[in-house]
């Protein structure tokens, strides 16, 4: 029985990896052939394909930048790219379930094996693709690969029943991210000339322009998280020593990246009206849950803070050089500010009516 499950699972894991890695390899080879190479070694684009595959799983990289071998770190990776490994993993897990004839006892073992094998192969790719200049942080592979793989595989072939606390907290966070996404979209249209100028400066060409457009699309979730941080008051950074928030603005220069064209040009205190939206969201969470029990409300608030912490960590990082060592939100500021505002809104909704009655 174990041998059968292992054989089926291993086959589908390799298929899931190939489903994503082969298109990436083709794009890398095409870009290499178009741009040329100083060494002419075809191993370069193949190694780059492995790096891209690892990066879409959010694995950070340790860099040694030529010509002076300056230390660098790359951990601010596009959150939108997660959709590709999730799709590949879910596709492979669905085929695994079909091959095992929907046997529930075998499927539980297959999910565990799928996540384990996928993670081990990811660690091997990280080790084999390492060079003197670019080193994937292989020992962090379990931290990133296991949750992505296990959650993706666990949601295939069965209906998950979430607890009330997690259900309501995820809805309220999704609501806040949705509102932030709408504001970000409107901001792009109001700054379209700046975005266009940043694109023109790069002069990417036809193939480079398509890749740049695709990369900007994948970074939109990161921008939405930064927008939520801005309107909640915690702000975000675009480089070391920078701070962009409604009441503080420190920004010397920005990279020539089109999405950054939507950055504000100074302090805008009216943006703090976004805090009111967060407070009202906390109040809405109270209205949803307090009718059930106070315990559900407390659990929902706790789950909300945990989700906010995960989002804050995912929306922060470093971008290659020391000058860009702090990009995105500050995880602790984001969690403390947004979580505190949600809790405050919940408390106001809970106790203000009581005070009014008194």
Residue 69, φ and ψ in degrees, nearest 5: 55, 45
pLDDT of residue 19: 94
pLDDT of residue 257: 82
pLDDT of residue 159: 65
pLDDT of residue 344: 94
pLDDT of residue 294: 80
Contact yes or no for 217/260 (Cβ under 8 A): no
* For residue 67, cis peptide bond before it (omega within 30 degrees of 0): yes
- Could you count the other beta carbons within 10 Å of the beta carbon of residue 347? 15
> For the purposes of burial, counting CB atoms within 10 Å of the CB of 273, is it exposed (0-12), middle (13-18) or buried (19 or more)?
exposed
pLDDT of residue 195: 82
User: From CA 40, how far away is CA 203, in angstroms rounded?
Assistant: 24
Instruction: Tell me how far CA of residue 244 lies from CA of 6, 238, 250, in angstroms.
Output: 51, 8, 6
- Could you count the other beta carbons within 10 Å of the beta carbon of residue 353? 10
Tell me the two tokens of residue 274: 């976004």
User: From CA 218, how far away is CA 117, in angstroms rounded?
Assistant: 27
pLDDT of residue 37: 54
The separation between CA 64 and the C-alpha centre of its own chain, rounded to angstroms, equals 24
User: From CA 9, how far away is CA 109, in angstroms rounded?
Assistant: 10
Contact yes or no for 202/212 (Cβ under 8 A): yes
pLDDT of residue 162: 63
User: From CA 84, how far away is CA 114, in angstroms rounded?
Assistant: 17
Q: Identify which of 180, 164, 208, 192 has the alpha carbon closest to the alpha carbon of residue 308.
A: 180
Fill in the DSSP letter of residue 155: T
Q: What is the pTM of this model?
A: 0.91
**Which residue ranges of the chain lie beneath pLDDT 70?**
35-42, 67-68, 158-162, 201-205, 354-358
Contact yes or no for 17/50 (Cβ under 8 A): no
């Amino acid at each position: 029985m174990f041998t059968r499950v292992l054989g089926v699972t291993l086959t589908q894991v390799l298929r899931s990896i190939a489903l994503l890695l082969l298109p990436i390899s083709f794009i890398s080879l095409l870009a290499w052939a178009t741009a040329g190479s100083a060494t002419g070694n075809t191993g370069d684009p193949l190694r780059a394909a492995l790096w891209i595959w690892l990066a879409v799983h959010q694995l950070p990289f340790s860099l040694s930048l030529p010509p002076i071998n300056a230390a660098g770190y790359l951990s601010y990776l596009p959150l939108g790219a997660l959709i590709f490994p999730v799709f590949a993993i879910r596709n492979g897990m669905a085929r695994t379930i079909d091959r095992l004839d929907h046997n529930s006892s075998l499927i539980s073992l297959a999910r565990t094996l799928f996540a384990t094998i996928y993670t081990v192969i990811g660690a091997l790719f990280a080790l084999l693709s390492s060079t003197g200049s670019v080193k994937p942080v292989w020992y962090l592979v379990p931290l990133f690969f296991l949750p992505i793989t296990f959650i993706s595989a666990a949601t295939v072939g069965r209906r998950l029943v979430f607890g009330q606390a997690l259900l309501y907290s995820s809805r309220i966070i999704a609501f806040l991210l949705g509102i932030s996404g709408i504001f970000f979209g409107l901001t792009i249209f109001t700054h379209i000339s700046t975005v266009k100028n940043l694109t023109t400066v790069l002069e990417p060409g036809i193939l480079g322009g398509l890749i740049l457009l695709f990369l900007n699309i994948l970074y939109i979730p990161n921008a939405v998280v930064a927008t939520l941080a801005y309107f909640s008051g915690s702000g975000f950074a675009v480089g070391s020593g920078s701070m962009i928030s409604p009441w503080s603005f420190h920004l010397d220069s920005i990279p020539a990246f089109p999405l950054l064209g939507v950055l504000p040009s100074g302090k805008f205190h009216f943006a703090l009206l976004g805090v009111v939206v967060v407070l009202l969201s906390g109040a809405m969470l109270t209205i949803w849950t307090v009718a059930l029990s106070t315990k559900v409300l407390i659990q929902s608030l706790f789950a909300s803070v945990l989700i906010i912490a995960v989002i804050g960590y995912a929306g922060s990082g470093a971008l290659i050089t020391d000058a860009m060592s702090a990009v995105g939100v500050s995880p602790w500021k984001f969690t403390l500010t947004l979580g505190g505002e949600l809790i405050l809104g919940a408390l106001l909704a809970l106790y203000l009516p009581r005070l009014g009655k008194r």
